[in-house]
Structure 1
Amino acid sequence: MKNFYTLVLTFFVVCNLQSQAIYKTIDSERLGATRELKIQLPRNYNPDEKRTYPLIVVLDGDYLFEPVAGNIDYQSYWEDIPDCIVVGINQADTRPEDLFYDDENYFPKDSGAQFYEFIVAELLPYIEKNYKASNFRIIFGHDLSANFINYYLFKDEPIFRAYIAFSPEFAPEMISRLQQRLSILTEQTFYYMATADADIKALRASTLKADSLISAIQNEKLLYKFDDFKDANHYALVGRGIPKALNEIFGLFKPINAKEYKEKLIPFEGSPYDYLIKKYEDIEHFYGFEKELIENDIRAIAAASNKKDDIDSLEKLAKLVKKKFPDSMLGAYYLGMYYEKEGNFKKALLQYKSGLLLQPSQFIDKEIILEKMYDAEEALND
């Protein structure tokens, strides 16, 4: 167990070497006080670019920010999820006041209502004014704060698209209210909830009750996922739940893997190239930002085009790659592949030769280009 925690600590230290948190203190009229924030921007963040990033708000930022930010940094590095802006709100000294709700109607009251408004009217505008945040927003909470995040669902137009609730300590009536609200959502919304076998007994019981009700909801706009972890307590379940939640939220964004290739890409009625365009259009429509074309998906579409003997799809892909990556070997490689498929080995050879002067990619380097050149020359001499 000691080695496990050492490994986890090392992981977050390495992540933080690459993505240092920015510490900000902002004045809040709603709270009548200052509030400390932790902000992590994506690697290679450029404020002058038009690109925007999903915004992740983390309550209980004193202890929850680092594991969330570390997971975001790690998974986005491998292109499994998009780069995100992560904002943690420190609550160590104000937690009971921030999360306070009325003992009659069980909605935020007094200091709790002020904290609610602080996030809506001050925090989000502050982040959007100073950073390139998109409208795709996610909020994290743990026990009391996992209950609090639900209040944002009750707005006529909820300001968050995804809610991650770890071992929620539900206010009275919240479970039934949550069931009713999730049943009538009109915009696609993610809701993730988790408990564990060694969770606090009362919280585990109420979470399991909530799951039984939410999982029965028939609403295609609700994208719900629940985890009941084994061999985890109230705190360890958070570390296991963060990557699971992110995987669910950004499932559409993920690179084409073997399962998607076999079950969706190959059976797709249109061409592989059409599948690629539709996938990226769906990502932009759903998340509100454009995904940059990645080499993993290029390889998958090329493989599907070859498997289906779809030369037109391969040609369109090659031209798209050439346009997107003009200084990379990628364009020359896939145009060469297209010409080989067409039987024009002379043009294929010219493309491969031109690629030697360009920059290697993640999977295509000079040795691979040379090998393709030799194959094309051999075909020309046959």
Structure 2
Amino acid sequence: MKNFYFLLLVLFFATNLNAQAIYKTLNSYKLGADRELKIQLPRNYNPEEKRNYPLIIVLDGDYLFEPIAGNIDYQSYWEDIPDCIVVGVKQGDSREDDLLYDEETYFPKEQSAAFYEFISSELLPYIEGEYKASNFRIIVGHDLSANFINYYLFKDKPIFRAFIALSPDFAPEMTTRLHQRLKILDQETFYYLATGDADVKALRTSIIKSDSLISSIENEKVLYKFDDFDDANHYGLVGQGIPKALNQIFGLFKPINAREYKEKVLTYEESPYDYLIKKYQDIEYFYGFEKKLIENDIRAIAAASNKKDDFYSLEKLTKLVKKVFPESMLSAYYSGMLYEKEGNYRKALIQYKSGLLLQPSQFIDKEIMLEKMYDTQEALND
């Protein structure tokens, strides 16, 4: 049943993405041939904006691009993950040659070595020259291509920061090499690995062994996640693994939820406002791009400030909101809240009235502003 719903979801995404996908042909010197690409840009992509987007390279783009791009589009719409640029590399009849490895060294050879260089020295420069892609890069593979993505880990400085390996068909020695390499990585790297209880038996055995080795690594720079899905075969596990992997990779980016609010915001040694600033600074440091302040996080910090009776945080938050959202009802709403906290209901009422002329936000509209006005008026009359 899970696989049935997943197929429906993929068909939905595929139907809606056909109009959005950009199809490009890249002439490759390394491959001596053209290579077809599928590209999805964020919904509100604007090349004039001073903003860069994480880049996701999808191998086996013939069939893996749509579920990846669909998940990105859906989750970024709800601000759970950032907007991303997704690039699918079509492999078609060249797949086996692209992903081949030497029978002695178990590293790429001939055509696969050329394909390896195509990705690193032709595809990435092309995409970054055409679009506003950041240096936070993710690479995704399934089966043979999930083995192939690991070769990029063996560069002195890996060009990808996150690896999504969905039911990889590991080359001999890859498990041992992965263990050795991940132990000594010195930059933050995400690694996601998945199999299912109905996966191909030989692959599942190898993947379980790999998990036992990788999970034993004590390297704070490696952020590792493994999933072994119930009732999932070699292809069905892809639909379950993609959102889990994205949630893992962009965990820090996510809006403040109830658990984070309770366990981190309220217990933070400094003020709730300081927690907010640090969270956004960490996002910029970790992912290489600035996250826009979102209303969900404003509400969480305001709630924590009120709960802790922290006037300093509420004052700083109000100034930040007015700076970031000067034309939104948010600025008037939080200014009014600050004056209420001071006991200055007259100024609070003025702020709420002025908010009626501003643009509504996700959670604040005219009805809420009017309700605040009536409540403040009552407080004035008491």
TM-score range, shorter chain: over 0.9
Counterpart of 1:93 in 2: which secondary structure? helix
Q: Determine if contact 1:15/1:74 at 8 Å carries over to the other structure.
A: no
- 1:201 and 2:201 matched: yes
Q: How does 1:59-74 map to 2 (within 5 A)?
A: 59-74=59-74
Report the residue type matching 1:229 in the other structure. Answer: F
Tell me how far 1:16 sits from its aligned partner. Answer: 2.0
- 1:20 and 1:348 map into 2 onto residues whose CA distance is 46
SS in 2 for 1:124: helix
| Superposed displacement of residue 4, structure 1 | 2.5
Displacement after TM superposition at 1:104 (Å):
0.7
- Structure 2 gap ranges (5+): none
Question: C-alpha separation between the residues in 2 aligned to 1:22 and 1:345?
Answer: 55
Kindly state the Cα deviation for residue 335 of structure 1 after the two structures are TM-superposed: 0.6
Per the alignment, residue 333 of structure 1 pairs with 333
- Hey, what does 2:324 align to over in structure 1? 324
Flag the 1:295–1:249 CA change in 2: closer, same or farther, 3 A: same
State the match for 1:84 in structure 2: 84
Deviations along 1:341-380, one digit per CA (max 9) or x if unpaired, are 1100011001001100000000000010001011111111
Q: Please show how residues 6-21 of structure 1 align to structure 2 within 5 Å.
A: 7-13=8-14, 15-16=16-17, 20-21=20-21
Is this contact kept in 2: 1:165–1:194, CA < 8 A? yes
Q: Give the deviation of 1:231 after TM superposition.
A: 0.3
Deviation per CA, 1:295-342: give whole Å up to 9, x if none: 000000000000000111101111111110111000000010010011
CA contact (8 A) 2:10 2:70 kept: no
- Code of the residue aligned with 2:198 in structure 1: it is A
Aligned partner of 2:223 in structure 1 is 223
Please say if residues 15 and 73 of structure 1, whose CA atoms lie closer than 8 Å, have aligned partners that are also in contact.
no
2:214 corresponds to which residue?
214
Letter in 2 for 1:71: N
Shift of 1:11: 3.0
The amino acid across from 2:253 in the alignment is: F
Q: Secondary structure at the match of 1:293?
A: coil
Taking the aligned partners of 2:286 and 2:147, their CA distance within structure 1 comes to 26
> Structure 2: how far apart are the matches of 1:9 and 1:89?
18
In the TM superposition, 1:204-283 aligns within 5 A as: 204-283=204-283
CA distance in 2, matches of 1:169, 1:16: 29
Give the structure 1 partner of residue 302 of structure 2.
Answer: 302
Q: What is the CA distance between 1:279 and its match in structure 2? A: 0.3
| Residue identity opposite 2:175 in structure 1 | I
| TM-score, length of structure 2 as denominator length | 0.98
The structural deviation recorded for 1:101 is 1.1
Say if 2:177 is the partner of 1:177.
Answer: yes
Kindly, what percent of the aligned residue pairs are identical?
77
Q: How far does the alpha carbon of each residue in 1:269-305 deviate from its partner, in whole angstroms, 9 at most, with x for none?
A: 1111111000000000000000000000000000000
Q: Which runs of 5+ in 1 are unaligned?
A: none
Q: Which TM-score applies when normalising by structure 1?
A: 0.98
Q: Is the 8 A contact 2:140 2:163 kept in 1?
A: yes
Q: SS of the residue aligned with 1:358?
A: coil
